[in-house]
Amino acid sequence: MSAFLLLKGEGYVMIVDLFFQTLHEFELPLIQAFQQIRSPLVDHIFLALNTFDGDSIYVALTIILLNFKGKKIGLHLFYFLVSGHLLSIILKALFIQPRPYDLIPSLEILGTHGYGFPSGAATGACIAFGYLFMIVKPTQYFLRIGTLMMIVLVGVTRVYLGAHFPSD
């Protein structure tokens, strides 16, 4: 039972759990179909793209912004990332949702720990690359498109690796 039991009562928990269970039953075949492209090369590519799951990339990005865009912009990103990380931890504890490989072990390409929903990697990517999108000049089309592509790519990577459902 999730922590919602303490907040809203048992009936609410059952509704939330039923919603996620129904959603996951729909999503698991999609993940299995997506993983049909598996090969050592494709696995290697997606594992390399998974570097955006680590904090070090965001620390580096924050330092770069601090040095090249100023203290205000760098600190904004830092605060947004920390807030997003804390919110992700809280939501994981509240929803207590499995990862795809918890339900079908053969989906696991990347061993990770903790609950699945929401995806901390996708949250970090949305915050970091979304913020970059906002501070980049509108005339820098390719850079803006690149930031949006990174947001999507991180989410797709996590699904391919079996670490998250598309809804995470």
- 132 residue type, one letter: L
76-to-12, 28, 124, 130 alpha-carbon distances in Å: 36, 37, 14, 12
pLDDT at 4: 44
- Give pLDDT tens digits for 50-70: 876 677 888 888 888 888 888
Q: What is the pLDDT of residue 77?
A: 87
Residue 105 CA from chain centroid, whole number: 20
> Taking residues 99-127, what's their average pLDDT?
84
Give the residue among 82, 85, 80, 117 at the shortest CA–CA distance from 102. Answer: 117
Residues above pLDDT 90, as percent of the chain:
11
pLDDT of 118 > 90? The answer is: no
